[in-house]
């Protein structure tokens, strides 16, 4: 509660920092914030056109020509939120090293700023994907209402993991390099480019042990099949996310006095 109160007391600082990052990203750009929609819209359109029209890729058991493109875009949207938070949290204390030395504020605000930016980008990406879906005649359905729950679970999981590796990265800079490599392997161990059904039986236990599989599945089931998730497989990732957040806060509190000195 003390940590939550300290972050809440600095909520205006957090919101101003998020706004400042958004403005800085498109400084001297005539279209400005329009690029937030144009970038993800272009990415979604490329996946849709290339996969469905050019490669004619299809999912097993799905007759929809755009099925694979929708499946891939849903998985990439979920993974993108996770990877952005983890990657930014890994280096956030190094990026704000000068501010940490000059300004007194709760250091926990920095990962919160990262998560806020990532969630905003994620919402814009989902809006762009929804526009592309309309061109395929794939209209929103009630199952899409579960996406905020999926985004929250992914964000909490990535937030806890990101703080852990971010603190370690301050004291051992090799951690940042390792995180990049691990995320690459992790991506391919998650059924995003391929469906889980085609994984060989001897490798399936490894893939199914991946906590990102049910989290990404929330998006794929809702966006492609219009299905509500099976809540039972989500218990493990949810508990793991809470454990990571608790462990990250404990480590952060212990390392916080030495953090600025090492920076």
SS3 letters for 174-219? HHHHHHHHHHHHHHHCCCCCCCHHHCCCCCHHHHHCCCHHHHHHHH
pLDDT of residue 56 exceeding 60: no
pLDDT grade, residue 215 (50/70/90)?
Answer: very high
pLDDT of residue 60 exceeding 70: no
Query: Whole-angstrom Cα distance, residue 245 to residue 152?
Result: 13
Q: What is the structure's pLDDT at 22?
A: 73
As a whole number, mean pLDDT of residues 46-70 equals: 67
Query: Whole-angstrom Cα distance, residue 189 to residue 207?
Result: 6
pLDDT of residue 247 exceeding 90: yes
As a whole number, mean pLDDT of residues 65-81 equals: 84
pLDDT of residue 235 exceeding 70: yes
pLDDT tens across 12-51, in order? 878 888 887 777 666 666 665 566 666 666 766 676 667 6
| Cα dihedral value 24, 260, 104, 83, nearest 10 | 40
Lowest mean pLDDT among 19-23, 59-63, 136-140: 59-63
- Report the chain's terminal Cα–Cα distance, integer Å: 27
Q: What is the structure's pLDDT at 150?
A: 94
pLDDT of residue 7 exceeding 80: no
Query: Whole-angstrom Cα distance, residue 115 to residue 79?
Result: 14
User: Which domain does 31 fall in, by range?
Assistant: 2-262
pLDDT tens across 89-129, in order? 998 888 877 777 777 777 788 888 899 989 988 988 888 88
pLDDT of residue 250 exceeding 80: yes
Domain count, the chain: 1
Q: Among 83, 247, 82, which residue's Cα sits nearest to residue 167?
A: 247
Calculate the alpha carbon distances from 97 to 49, 94, 103 in Å: 43, 5, 10
Query: Whole-angstrom Cα distance, residue 36 to residue 31?
Result: 10
Q: What is the structure's pLDDT at 190?
A: 92
pLDDT of residue 131 exceeding 70: yes
Where b means 16+ CB within 10 Å and e means fewer, 5-37 reads: eebeebeebbeebbeeeeeeeeeeeeeeeebbe
pLDDT of residue 196 exceeding 70: yes
Six-digit token pair at 106? Answer: 């709760």
Q: What is the structure's pLDDT at 15?
A: 84
pLDDT tens across 169-195, in order? 988 888 888 999 999 999 999 998 888
Q: What is the structure's pLDDT at 90?
A: 92
Q: What is the structure's pLDDT at 57?
A: 57
pLDDT of residue 70 exceeding 60: yes
Q: What is the structure's pLDDT at 204?
A: 87
pLDDT grade, residue 246 (50/70/90)?
Answer: very high
Calculate the alpha carbon distances from 115 to 65, 86, 154, 160 in Å: 35, 9, 11, 11
What value does the mean pLDDT of the chain take? 83
């Amino acid at each position: 509660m003390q940590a939550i109160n300290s972050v809440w007391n600095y909520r205006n600082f957090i919101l101003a920092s998020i706004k400042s990052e958004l403005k800085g990203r498109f400084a001297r750009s005539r279209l400005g914030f329009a690029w937030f929609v144009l970038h993800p819209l272009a990415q979604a359109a490329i996946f849709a056109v290339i996969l469905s029209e050019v490669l004619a890729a299809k999912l097993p058991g799905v007759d929809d020509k755009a099925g694979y493109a929708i499946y891939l875009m849903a998985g990439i949207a979920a993974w993108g939120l996770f990877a952005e938070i983890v990657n930014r949290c890994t280096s956030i204390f190094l990026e704000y090293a000068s501010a940490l030395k000059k300004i007194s504020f709760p250091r926990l605000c920095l990962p919160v700023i990262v998560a806020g930016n990532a969630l905003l980008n994620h919402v814009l990406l989902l809006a762009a994907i929804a526009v592309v879906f309309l061109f395929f005649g794939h209209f929103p359905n009630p199952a899409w209402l579960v996406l905020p729950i999926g985004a929250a679970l992914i964000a909490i999981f990535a937030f806890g993991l990101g703080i852990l590796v971010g603190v370690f990265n301050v004291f051992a800079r090799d951690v940042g390099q390792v995180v990049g490599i691990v995320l690459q392997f992790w991506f391919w161990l998650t059924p995003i480019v391929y469906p889980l059904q085609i994984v060989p039986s001897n490798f399936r236990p490894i893939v199914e042990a991946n906590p990102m599989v049910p989290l990404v599945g929330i998006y794929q089931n809702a966006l492609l099949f219009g299905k509500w998730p099976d809540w039972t497989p989500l218990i493990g990732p949810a508990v793991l996310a809470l454990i990571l957040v608790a462990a990250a806060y404990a480590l952060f509190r212990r390392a916080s006095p030495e953090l600025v000195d090492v920076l």
